[in-house]
Structure formats: structure tokens, C-alpha cells
Structure 1
């Protein structure tokens, strides 16, 4: 009974109620302002014919499904104060199973907070569009389940917190975009195939989409950023049939605690992250496990890299850094400068060669099928994936260099470093990174080899490399700025001489321990067992 101006002052209380005032008794004698009365009073002098005609019109309206004032009055209940607190009004309306098709009269019931217009008995409502609620600015709970709604219209900017639109024929939920107060929404048993329209509902906690037509996991992107979402039901939707649905859905919605009427455990969330976007350490550990497994199935032999003693680490220099950041040029130059100590070991890759790259010199360029065959044959020490391509450091590559009595010099991305650190090798890791990102980006553009997304990814990884070095002291042995390659080579050459014992380090106080023979290379000692200061 939250009503219309058509009643004038007829339904107004004689004076406003104080907060402690008791509800007026009886109700029929005191209706709040702007509330429709349950029905027109019968005057003794009213002609019988007029009353019969009026009742006949009302019956005809009811047959048409038009909600009138008398029927509305039957469903009004729960008295309370209006929003300003100056009047006593009806707050709730319950009219289930009335065969309604026109509820436009409710536009005058501006004080209603809860409405139940569903069919929870026998009859089914026939409302095709939501009309008549535009002015119900106190409405916080609405049920229109078991109707014939095909779209959501007419709820714009209403303060609805709990909404039930189940068992309709709704296909899209775009009409909810402006209903920002939503906490719980039931859209089960409809024909919804897209979740667009539920995004940016930052107060939404519960979504029921059971028995709809959502077919793609990608649709979850519309709700993945809802901070308070805890309960989601997607039972009886086609996307459940997709392989890996459960963990994929959990990964996209890590804030959810209940999915498809099942509690989501912490262990399942960890498994989802490890499957969909595992931390680098997990990826590296899995790669190492895989390479050891494949290699264990092959005939075993004594490795040249384990000589002259199994307790000594084979000398290896690993240069790492972002795409086209100088590690290729510097690694080849170091091998030429120290040709009696190093030989370059190219990795295998599934990507095609860039302009100027030479097969077997820069990389072994092979197909994905060949790469998979090599991996299953236990041919790799470590593999990693970068920018959609596979890379692998071959066992034979390292062993052939060790057989010549030389140390291996290789270059990798950080993903490869993570994997290599799980092996028995103990290389020296030197990060080559440009500090001037603007200059680096311009350099990548000038090469004409890389797409815009590749350039953006490469530039973003500069900060990632520096952050790893900062967050994990000792993970890398040195950092050299490659803004000027000539200067970078001078610093790298000096560093290598220090590693080889050809020149004493500038800060001998930093040396922890004494020089030890980790492997003899061309009659010279290998690296100092020390922590080398960062070079910038």
C-alpha cells in the first residue's frame, strides 16, 4: 500500500506519527498518505446498478490480468515507517499466482520495500516486461520468478539488493547494469548465454545461474573482478562439459568460496593456480621432473661434464636478459675473446629465425614435433616456454663442449634460468639488462623484427628482471647495464677474468673463501667460489 497521488488526502493520517506511536487501529479507518485504500467504500445511497457495473469492470480487468487497487490491497502487509519517517505505510506486497500481466498500478506504491509477484502456488504470471516499478525508490527485494520475462527492463537505478528472476525466458542480463546495489541475484532456469551486464556490481555476493545456456568459460571474465562474490552456481550449463572446467573456473574466480553448490577448498585453489598460471618455481620444478623422467628411460653413461670429479661443478656461464637486449652479441663476443676457455652453446627452439640469425650458430631451429621427440628421448637438460615458443638446452650441446675441455657459454630468458637452477649444474648467472627503457623500445622498433605486442612485452620484462634481482639477493651473480654494448662488454670481460682467476677482483674483501679448482679449463682455474659484487 505505498501509493498514488490519486487518493489525495483521503488516505492520509490526521497527524504524523512519532517514532513511538502505535500502528493505527483499525487499518480501514486510517490509511497513510499516498497509499491506495483496499477498496472503494460502499455508500448506502449508491445505486445497486452502479455497484454491479463497477464489480463487473473489476472482474473484467482481473480476467485480463490487470492489477487493480482492490487486488493490490489484498497483498499488502507489514506496516512500518516511510523513508522520511513521517508516515506509517505498508512496506511489503505479496501477490503470487494471480495471473497478472499488467502491474503498472504499482508505480504509485513508492514506499514498498519488498515485492513478491512470483508464482509459487499454481498459476503462472504472464508478465513479458517489467513495468510499473520505476518510482519504487525504496524497493530492496523483488521476486518475479515463474513469469514470462524475455528481457530485463524497468529496474534501472532501483536500490534492489535481492532479486529473483528465475524460471523466465531471459536471454541477456544487460538490464542489470545500473542496479548497483545488488547483493544476491537468482537467474536460474532462463536462456542466458552471456554474463555481460553483471560486471562492476561490486556489492554482489551470490549469483545463481543454474540451468541456463552459458557455454564458454570466457564468459566468466565479466564477473572475475567482483570483489565480494562468494557463491556462484553454474550447474546445468554447457560450459560444465568442457575439460578442466572445475579448476579453470576456480582459477578465474579465486574469491569464490562455493561453486556449483560445493565448497571450494584452499587445496583446490592452489591446484587451480598451479594448473592455469603456476608460479615460475612450480613451472621449473615440473620441467626438471619431466626431463629427469625422460632421461632416466634412456641408456646411462658417464658424462663428460662430470669430469674430472663428480664433486666438482662443470664451469658454465649463463647470460640472461630481455629480448634483443644484447645477450646474443655479448655471448658470442665473450666466446671469441676467451676462445681458449669458452664455447657458445646454442639452444633449440621452435620459433623461426629472425633476420640475421644462423641455424646451429644462434639456435637450432626445429619444429614443434621435433622438439617433442627430443624431449621424450631425454635430450634436454632444461626447457622453457617464452612468447608462445619452446626453448631447450640440449644435453649433447653441453657434453660436446665439455668433451673439448671448454666451458659452456649460453644465453637464456629468466624462465630457462629457473629450470636450469634445478639441475646439478652451478653456472654463473649474469643479467644483461637495458636501464633506459625508452632507448630499448626504440631499438626494438628499429630492428623491424617484432610486433607491437612483442615490443610491449619485452619492455615490461625489463622491470621484471630488475625486480627479481632486487627481491632475491644472490639468485643472480651480477647485473650489467646494456644501454651501451661496448661499455657492457668491457664490464663483462672484466667480470669473466675475475671469475677465471685471470685478474684479482677490485674488492678482495668481498671474497668469501679461497680460490678452488671447480674444473680446469685449458690449463687455467675456473671461477672463484665467491659472491661477486653487482656491476651496473
Structure 2
């Protein structure tokens, strides 16, 4: 008949221990799950209970709990409750499970200030309310209800929040949850991740089965320092090209994405694709030119002679923007015109004032540059400040046929690419050490924008660091604060290089 009796209670009692006042030895826990119970008023006499398990019954009245002042945990899930907490609050009640009932409205829980865990899954609740004074609540679950918005959670110490399988469209009302660590918003109608950006303690976010469509939404998560697990399964954003690699790159701290662990190989692939180290860029550049050159009719190049023991001589002057590379390159080629000729690179940028086509660079369109790449015309290419530069094979060959060595000037990106080839140039770093003077020089030229100047000045330290960290990367380093002195030193180095 569903009425609880003493014999059934006796079967469910377990865990002997001291009563809360410490004066008696009593049973502390009672489990009555799945007993078809509807009337449990007899429990009013069991005042020492600390844990009460009543799941899977037909209970709709919990007033007996009012007589359990020491109760810590209550599980009344899978019953027929239409309201909750309709009993005098045990002052230390910490964990309550009212999942799978028929509750449609949340009541004021101001008297339940010790509550740490509240589970209300699978009910009919439409609004979160009554939690304002639950200052100990760290775990709240309201999945499979009828919520259309997130509210009523202001300034609570919630660490775990489950609002899955509702009808929520926007992530709002979470701003003040500064301790939030795990958030489940799966199976809602969310289209944007805005509202998650200020939660520095968030470790796990589940947004499976929502309506997130754009990769740019991930920008709201980029600055979350502890985010390790993200689930965007069953969102249309997964259909974006290279979705997984891009998410891994944007949220590099992740260890799991869409229920699948992220491997070290995936992280490396993501970095190599979206922000490759300079060495990887150079290696890819080299492989590209080797591949395209092999597609062309093969012939013996003058620059590969006379032998591997005596590689074709080449002089490469390398350094930051407008540090004197161009001027010094031309002066060296004039002074040692029996040995060197200048080899202009191709570039997609427009000519600066004073530069001449074919004399300083071959200025070409992006389309023409790409065509040269695809027909194996370059030995090395690189990108700097948004423009492409390439050292052409025909340029070197025409100089080699005259029995001369090629002298070129490059940025460090070009050097990295060239170092992958069979050429063994002498690399001389030209670098200004007085950055204030260098910056003033760039400004006076009137050719460069402020960002270009700032980038060029910042690269001075990069060049110096490469020279210090990788001894031998450059064959020599020349200070270009004073170009006349730099030319004198450079001439001396070239004479030594040539054995003069």
C-alpha cells in the first residue's frame, strides 16, 4: 500500500556512528530506494539520520524531514514531488537531489544556507529563483527543464553548473560567477559564446548540440587560462574547413576537444599550419621550390659547378629594413666588380622612392610571382611585411655564366630559406646597434609607416639574439651605425673571403 513500516526501515538502516551531540551510538544512514513508497511519515521519529536515500518511489510529501535536524544528504529523485523543501530546514543540509520529479517552480531557499549541492534535473522549472542567500552552493544542476534564460545566480560560489537540455538562446547571467569551473550548456539553442570570456577558472565547457556556426565565436574563449576541455559536437561550426586544427591552435591549452583527446602531433600540426616557426616556413618554402623545379626540363646549372667541394660562391648581406644593406651591396659589387655582381630579388611590393626596376629589385605582380613559383623559377622565397620576395634561379645563373659570384641582400626570412638549399653562401649580418639613431634614420627617409618602423626597430634585437644564440649562423657581424665604417669593415671581410 506504499506506507513505510518499521521492518522496512530496519532493512534500510546502515552505518552506525555517534549521534550529532555525541551522546548516543545510532544509525546514521537510511536507504529506501525502489520500494514503491508513498507515505514515509514514520520517519519523523528518526531524528539522528544524516543521510537519507528515497529515490525511485512515489513520494509527494517530505514533511518528515522537518524532524531530522542533523540531516546532511537527501536524495528524493525519481518520485512524484510537485514542490520541494516543504519542510523545516535541517541547519546543516548540504546535498539534495530532487531530479526526475514534477517540480515546476523553485522556492525561496534563504533558510538553507549550508546547501552545497542541488540537483533539479528532469523537472518542469521555467525560471531559476530563490538561491540568493545560498552562499555555500557550489554545484547546481537544472538539466532537462524549461529554462529559456540564465538568471538568479548572481554572486553565488558555484563551481559546477549544468543547464543542459533547456531552451536557452544566449549566455547571460553568468558574469558574477567568478568561481565557475565546469559548465554544461549542451542541447540548448545557443549561437554565440559571448558571456564566457570573463571566467578565468573555467576548465570544462560542454556546448554539444547547439547552434554555434562561426569559428570567430571561439575568440570569446581565447583568454581563458585554465580551459582544458571543450565540446562543440553537433554544432554546425564543425563543418568549417580545418575546424579541429584551427580550434586547437586558437585554444592551445586544450587537452580534449569534442570528446577526443588532443595529441601532441595535432598541436604541432596546428602550429605549423597557422603560425609555423620560421624554420618550418623556410623548409616548406624549400620543398616547394624543389618540387616545382623537378617538374621542369632538367639541365646542368652553371651555379652548381665546378664541384661539391667548391660550392658556387655567393655573398649574402642580411639585416633589418633600410639598415644599409642596399647601399653596401651595390658598393661591394662596384669595388669587387671582377668577382661579384648584384643579383636583384623579385618582389610583389611597389618600388620605394629612388629604387629602380631591375637595378634594385624586379617589381612584379602577385600573379606573376605565383606563376614563377609554380614554374620552379625561384631558389628561395620569403614573406616580409605582407609582401613576397624571391631569389630567382635565372638571376644567379646569368651571373654564374659570366664567371662571377652573386651578391644579394635579404631579410632573415630569406636566409632561413636559402640555408635549406645546396648553396653555401657567406652570410654577413649588417645590424645597427644604436636603435634610436636607426629609428630616426627610418623616419627621415619618409618611406615607411609607423607600424613598419616599429617592427623594423624591434627586429634589431631579434637579429642580435640569433647571432648570440646560434654561433656561426652568420659568418660575420658588421655594425651599420656609420655606413662608411661599415663599408670599410665589410671590404676587409670580403677580401679575406676572396683570399686577396
Tell me the TM-score range normalised by the shorter chain: 0.7 to 0.9
Q: 1:247 to 1:343 in 2, by over 3 A?
A: same
Whether 2:310 is the aligned partner of 1:312: answer: yes
Contact 1:149 1:169 in 2 (8 A): yes
Pairwise mapping of residues 379-528 of structure 1 onto structure 2 (< 5 A)?
A: 379-502=377-500
Q: 1:438 to 1:21 in 2, by over 3 A?
A: farther
Contact 1:118 1:125 in 2 (8 A): no
Whether 2:70 is the aligned partner of 1:72: answer: no
* Offset of residue 473 of structure 1: 1.0
TM-score, normalising length: structure 2: 0.81
What do the CA deviations read for 1:423-453 (whole angstroms, capped 9, x no partner)? Answer: 1111011111222223333333333332333
Q: 1:196 to 1:322 in 2, by over 3 A?
A: farther
- In structure 1, stretches of 5+ residues that fail to align are 1-15, 42-61, 80-87, 503-536
* Offset of residue 102 of structure 1: 4.3
Residue among 206, 209, 212 paired with 1:208: 206
| Count of residue pairs the alignment pairs up | 444
Contact 2:108 2:129 in 1 (8 A): no
Aligned to 2:120: 117
* Offset of residue 101 of structure 1: 5.3
Residue among 288, 292, 314 paired with 2:290: 292
Contact 1:314 1:407 in 2 (8 A): yes
SS in 2 for 1:348: strand
Deviates more, 1:482-491 or 1:346-355: 482-491
- Structure 1 Cα separation of the partners of residues 192 and 323 of structure 2: 43
SS in 1 for 2:110: helix
Residue among 185, 193, 198 paired with 2:183: 185
Q: 1:262 to 1:29 in 2, by over 3 A?
A: closer
Contact 1:161 1:183 in 2 (8 A): yes
- Structure 1 Cα separation of the partners of residues 64 and 277 of structure 2: 72
Aligned to 1:140: 138
TM-score, normalising length: structure 1: 0.76
Pairwise mapping of residues 227-246 of structure 1 onto structure 2 (< 5 A)?
A: 227-246=225-244
Aligned to 1:513: none
* Offset of residue 200 of structure 1: 4.6
Residue among 76, 82, 96 paired with 2:99: 96
- In structure 2, stretches of 5+ residues that fail to align are 1-18, 29-42, 50-60, 66-79
- Structure 2 Cα separation of the partners of residues 149 and 391 of structure 1: 58
* Offset of residue 357 of structure 1: 1.8
What do the CA deviations read for 1:459-483 (whole angstroms, capped 9, x no partner)? Answer: 2222221221121111111122222
- Structure 2 Cα separation of the partners of residues 493 and 22 of structure 1: 98
Q: 1:470 to 1:153 in 2, by over 3 A?
A: farther
- Structure 1 Cα separation of the partners of residues 410 and 479 of structure 2: 17
CA RMSD of aligned residues (A): 3.1
Contact 2:20 2:48 in 1 (8 A): no
Whether 2:340 is the aligned partner of 1:342: answer: yes
Pairwise mapping of residues 30-179 of structure 1 onto structure 2 (< 5 A)?
A: 71-73=84-86, 89-96=92-99, 100=103, 102-119=105-122, 123-127=123-127, 130-179=128-177
SS in 2 for 1:108: coil
Q: 1:207 to 1:345 in 2, by over 3 A?
A: same
SS in 2 for 1:285: helix
Contact 1:330 1:489 in 2 (8 A): yes
* Offset of residue 305 of structure 1: 1.3
Contact 1:342 1:407 in 2 (8 A): yes
Q: Which has the higher contact order (CA 8 A, sep 6+)?
A: 1
Contact 2:296 2:375 in 1 (8 A): yes
Aligned to 1:259: 257
